[in-house]
Amino acid sequence: AHKSMEKHGHLIGLAHIIQQEKNVFLLMGTNDVTNERSSAMEIQAAQNLQKANPHVAYTFYLQKMYISFMLREYEETKALAEKYFDFNLLSWTFLYIHTAHSFYGGLVSFWVYRQSNDPNWASRGHKAKIAMKKWAKSSGHNFQHKA
């Protein structure tokens, strides 16, 4: 998949795959963030996309935030969450936000709030709950298993 994506210029998909592989290796207990399938050019392309494309960066920070949350690394989770929430979610390019983004963003927000007692984090968590309720109400057939 790597070579085909690189050959056809599907760099956004490639950036997501490389990050997912890093996450899997981290969850497996290794800090080796590269593997034999990711060339140096692919990794550099992924890093450049994270800097240049807000959609890639937004997803990158969500994934990294979630992994840090799972590993209970509070300071790293908080720093990544701040970067994640810095995105202008009212921008027309972010109108379609996945429910998983809201769910995990809310989950992390409530955890940071419990650790810091900063009401801004509680507010973010409550906004995520409201978003999930709106989606559940407007798409009951799809949210019966999520709400």
CA 118 to chain CA centroid, Å, is 22
From first to last of the 147 residues of the chain, give the pLDDT tens digit.
Answer: 666 666 666 666 666 677 777 777 777 777 655 555 555 655 566 667 667 777 777 778 888 888 889 888 999 999 989 988 887 655 545 545 567 788 889 999 999 999 999 999 999 999 989 888 887 777 766 656 654
Question: What is 12-69 written as a DSSP string?
Answer: HHHHHHHHHHHHHHHHTT------TTS-HHHHHHHHHHHHH-HHHHHHHHHHHHHHHH
What is the model's pLDDT at position 70?
87
Of 115, 106, 103, the closest CA to residue 74 belongs to 115
- pTM over 0.75, yes/no: no
